[in-house]
Amino acid sequence: MIVGCSVKNLDSSQQTKVEEIVALMTLEEKVGQMTQIDISAIVGQGDKLIDQEKLTDAILNHHIGSILNTPNNKAQSIEDWRKIIQIINSVSEKTRLKIPVLYGIDAIHGASYTKNSTLFPQAINMAATFNTDLSVKEGEITAQELRVSGLQWNFSPVMDIGRQPLWPRLWETYGEDVHLASVLGSAYISGYQGNDISAPNKGLTCLKHYVGYSVPNNGKDRTPAWISERMLREYFLPSFEAGIKAGSPTVMVNSGEVDGIPGHANYHYLTTILRGELGFKGFTVSDWEDIKRLFVRDKLASSPKEAVKIAVMAGVDMSMVPFDYSFYDLLIELVKSGEVPMARIDEAVSRILKVKDQAGLFQGKKLPLSAESRFATQESTAINLQAASESLVLAKNSNNILPLSKDTKILITGPTANSLSVLNGGWTLSWQGDDDSLYPDDKLTVYAALQKKSTGHVTYVGGTSFNDKIDIEKAVEAAKNQDIIVLCVGEKPYTETMGNIFSLNLDQSQVELANALFATGKPVVLVTLGGRPRIITDQAEKASAVILGFLPGMEGGQAIADILYGDYNPNGKLPISYPRNTNDIVLYDHKPIENFDTNSYNPLYPFGHGLSYTQFKTFGLEIDKQHYKIGESISLSINVENTGILKGKETVLVYLNDIAASVTRPNKQLKAFKKIELNPHQTEKITITLTPYDLSFINVDLKRVVEPGEFKIMVGSEVVHFTVAE
Ligand code: BGC
């Protein structure tokens, strides 16, 4: 199940080197290494990138180990990033022990804080591609473009599982399925890190946000989740376990709370499970200001000092403070008074220094990777376009209204039709990603891409950003002379608490626009863009075709136009269940009780849904035996035939159900997938092996077990049964 490779282990000489350095360090130097500050604490005024005095104070007086974020919350040029890193390095070289500073950045869909970088579809779209190779490529290209910028440490991938659609970070996840997230996240790590993270084109990833952050009960960011330990082990730990096996050397802590314990205070999660069970050897970093919040927000600590003690003793190794040196001052006091043992400090510092060493930071001056043929290359752009294309889900296509011919007269309108930010979402060129003025001039919005491809028949009504008001009467009038309407709805960019909403319903203004356009009687193609599945049940029913776009990235406009005109055959599949109603959140791997009596799984579109312009048939599902012993693997095969007239890609989804067990089992769970491309009338037999792990679950004693009994495997409409015995 785990894609990827393990990162080169430290040999004993490196181990010794770190121990030697730690032995030489003063308490202040050690605690400084555990301190991470935001770049805003050291940026200069006016044209000056860095304030030399503040930087000197940070590194020489406070011995800080890490800096994060982009200056002024805006993407920088490659040159400016290089200057910033060079200025920081020149000061860290003056420190007594010459310990380098590790710079961290949220490059969550490409080098998102470097101007003109390759900006990929967000994770929810990467999940819709069901394409492991594309995830590897995204990792490779992101690492390379960060290294060109002189940066290395990326706060990505998000390994949280997206099972709460209201949550404003759903789109940062690989969707609702544990297996899919584990495989794609691991693939990303293997691309980003390779097998040597110190290589000039590689870097360090960070698994976040450990653990249980993604399912706040009320849907708002950073609010409580209640996850029993069994469910934690079943749904939320496996993706982190996969990321650790894939070699990620850092983990960022859950900014919320689970079962009444804030992530940053949870010794059981951060130490007993993470270190003791998952075998994590790297270092943990707090999330933004979260140690302070144990006091100011959670009232778990009675003072800022107690907050530091609780977090450090729970297992947080580095504090993203990020604006001051309070963590540094308080932790020094705590060690001096004996409240935090020096051994815990040595442990944290050793972990941090080992990771710095693994990243090659001690190997002397490193020049950034040359940009030539390594930054935003044509090849990267082509891969990005492929990722965007494979991430779009054609959910409905009545009477094959799509694809359109290039001379179709089209009205395109709606708040997401003519903006690049709505294709990219948060963490794009700025934190919220919503500043259209920062976006490049040469990338295409949906409208611009349609216009470029058509033979001159595209009319647009609307503004240039999500917030521009659309004149409904004008749109209705314009529709009269057209063959078809492309209506682009959805959400503006956002992330974290700024994206909290109170209902999944589409904004009223968009509903009114849609109703007025449907009333014209012209066929409507509905295109949705945004990070969450906003309720479109009524609009989708009235529309002739529906494309679910989510956040397809910088090439998204082009990719949507390619699909609308048939220059690309769609193949994306939903990585979440698309709800029919705002309060009917039932996921595809629901329990039998959720599909019993008056309960049902009745989403607008189910997990795995996605149409093509060709048709596929899956048949002949077979397994190698009918009866297995516990511990044996299951080998299955299935034929896939392209029965249509176009070449296309199909993803085969293999589901399993444990028919009766001592803990209720999901009606089905994804255990494997394979994406293939077939010519018309071509048939391919694919084989897949399911391991004993795939048959296992967490029992009443919180142990992962395989229980004897009957199981079934489902692929398309085919089902096979088998038994497992002691
Ligand atoms: C987010 C993290 C992010 C960090 C640094 C936090 O607010 O929760 O995902 O990595 O900021 O920017």
Q: Give the tens place of pLDDT for each residue, 522-541.
A: 999 999 999 999 999 999 99
Are residues 339 and 403 located together in one domain of the fold? no
The tally of CA atoms less than 13 A away on the side-chain side of residue 429 is: 23
Are residues 646 and 541 located together in one domain of the fold? no
Are residues 414 and 477 located together in one domain of the fold? yes
Q: Is residue 205 part of a domain?
A: yes
Q: Is residue 372 part of a domain?
A: no
Question: How far, in Å, CA of 592 to CA of 589, rounded?
Answer: 9
Q: Which residues are catalytic?
A: 287
CA–centroid distance, residue 287 to ligand 1 (Å): 6
- Angle subtended by helix axes 237-245 and 178-193, to nearest 10: 20
Please answer whether residues 662 and 600 qualify as being in contact, where contact means their C-beta atoms are separated by less than 8 angstroms. no
Choose which residue among 40, 205, 284, 287 to substitute to test ligand 1 binding: the one with the highest number of ligand atoms within 8 A of its C-beta: 287
Confidence of residue 184 (pLDDT cuts 50, 70, 90): very high
Confidence of residue 230 (pLDDT cuts 50, 70, 90): very high
Sign of the dihedral defined by the CA atoms of residues 91, 96, 98, 99, in that order: negative
Question: In the predicted model, what is the mean pLDDT of residues 426-451?
Answer: 97
Contacts of 566 (CB under 8 A, 6+ apart): 402, 403, 404, 613
Supply the residue whose CA is at minimum distance from atom 11 of ligand 1: 288
The last residue of a domain, from among 595, 629, 663: 595
Question: How far, in Å, CA of 362 to CA of 358, rounded?
Answer: 9
Give SS3 for 668. Answer: coil
Pocket of ligand 1 (CB under 6 A): 68-69, 106, 155, 208, 252, 255, 287-288, 496
* Residue bearing tokens 């909290």: 500
Q: Is residue 607 part of a domain?
A: no
Question: How far, in Å, CA of 137 to CA of 380, rounded?
Answer: 9
Are residues 303 and 386 located together in one domain of the fold? no
Q: Residue 561 sits in which domain range? A: 380-595
Q: Residue 682 gets which letter from DSSP? A: -
Phi, psi of 233 (to 5 degrees): -70, -30
Q: Is residue 431 part of a domain?
A: yes
- Residue 260, pLDDT > 60, answer yes
Q: Give the tens place of pLDDT for each residue, 611-659.
A: 999 999 999 999 999 999 999 999 999 999 999 999 999 999 999 999 9
The last residue of a domain, from among 306, 323, 358: 358
Are residues 323 and 419 located together in one domain of the fold? no
Let me know the angle formed at the C-alpha of 438 by 157 and 118, rounded to the nearest 5 degrees. 40
Q: Give the tens place of pLDDT for each residue, 345-389.
A: 999 999 999 999 999 999 876 778 888 889 999 999 999 999 999
CA–centroid distance, residue 294 to ligand 1 (Å): 17
Helix, strand, coil share (%) of the chain residues, nearest 5: 35, 20, 45
Q: Is residue 1 part of a domain?
A: no
Are residues 334 and 443 located together in one domain of the fold? no
The last residue of a domain, from among 538, 565, 595: 595
Regarding pTM above 0.85, the answer is yes
Domain holding 195: CATH number? 3.20.20.300
Domain holding 510: CATH number? 3.40.50.1700
Question: How far, in Å, CA of 351 to CA of 496, rounded?
Answer: 29
Are residues 554 and 625 located together in one domain of the fold? no
**Strands (DSSP E) found in 456-574:** 458-461, 484-490, 524-529, 545-548
Are residues 115 and 223 located together in one domain of the fold? yes
Are residues 502 and 559 located together in one domain of the fold? yes
Please answer whether residues 686 and 638 qualify as being in contact, where contact means their C-beta atoms are separated by less than 8 angstroms. yes
Question: How far, in Å, CA of 232 to CA of 574, rounded?
Answer: 24
pLDDT, residue 51, reads 95
Choose which residue among 106, 222, 253, 318 to substitute to test ligand 1 binding: the one with the highest number of ligand atoms within 8 A of its C-beta: 106
Are residues 641 and 548 located together in one domain of the fold? no
In 3D space, the residue among 45, 92, 35, 41 whose CA is nearest the CA of residue 66 turns out to be 35
Say how many domains are in the chain: 3
Are residues 161 and 234 located together in one domain of the fold? yes
Domain holding 696: CATH number? 2.60.40.10
Q: Is residue 22 part of a domain?
A: yes
CA–centroid distance, residue 256 to ligand 1 (Å): 12
Is it true that the peptide bond before 706 is cis, omega within 30 degrees of 0? Answer: no
Is it true that the peptide bond before 109 is cis, omega within 30 degrees of 0? Answer: no
Q: Is residue 6 part of a domain?
A: no
Please answer whether residues 591 and 624 qualify as being in contact, where contact means their C-beta atoms are separated by less than 8 angstroms. no
CA–centroid distance, residue 432 to ligand 1 (Å): 12
Are residues 337 and 415 located together in one domain of the fold? no
Q: Give the tens place of pLDDT for each residue, 484-536.
A: 999 999 999 999 999 999 999 999 999 999 999 999 999 999 999 999 999 99
Q: Is residue 49 part of a domain?
A: yes
CA–centroid distance, residue 477 to ligand 1 (Å): 45
Question: In the structure encoding, which two tokens stand for residue 456, read together?
Answer: 């001159």
Choose which residue among 66, 105, 155, 211 to substitute to test ligand 1 binding: the one with the highest number of ligand atoms within 8 A of its C-beta: 155
Q: Buried b / exposed e across 31-60, counting CB within 10 Å, b at 16+? A: bbbbbbbbbebbbeeeeeebeeeebebbbe
